[in-house]
Structure 1
Amino acid sequence: MRLTWKDAVATAVMGVITAVHVVFLQQADVLVLGSVRGVASVILVLGAVLLSCLRWFWCAVVVVPPAGLGVAQPVDAGLVVAR
């Protein structure tokens, strides 16, 4: 079994989240990471940015059919699938 690009992205994001948590635990004098609410907000924003980037990647690169195989049609969930 091989690792995929999704595994690499998940590992990078978890590394950033771990670093944010370690900075908080070390009680570093960082503007946003000084409180639990600040840390939670940073992690929430990281998750939202990652989700929007992955959704863009999924719609723009993965789901769009190769030329000549059909036209992409929108679905109720906001995703694009090939028919």
Structure 2
Amino acid sequence: MTQKTPNGIDLLTHVTGLTKEDVTAIHAKAEANRSRLESCARHAFEPVEPGKLFSRHRCTHCGGEADSVGAHWYARGLAHGGAA
């Protein structure tokens, strides 16, 4: 007997209760964000909601977003590399 391997969309719809359309839209948004971030030569992240703990951060150059932890470590990497 052959077992069917679930695809990612089917699995996510099953475990989250979201529709296939919602999962596909979220994936498209994430891919667009990844593309913006990868095309940027150097990020300048600023909080989307200043003063809010764990706010998303948006690059003023490319518009890509990262969580606060990712933005923090990106800035630390620049500082340690002497680019900040």
User: What TM-score, normalized by structure 2, do the two folds share?
Assistant: 0.36
Greater helix share, structure number: 1
User: What TM-score, normalized by structure 1, do the two folds share?
Assistant: 0.36
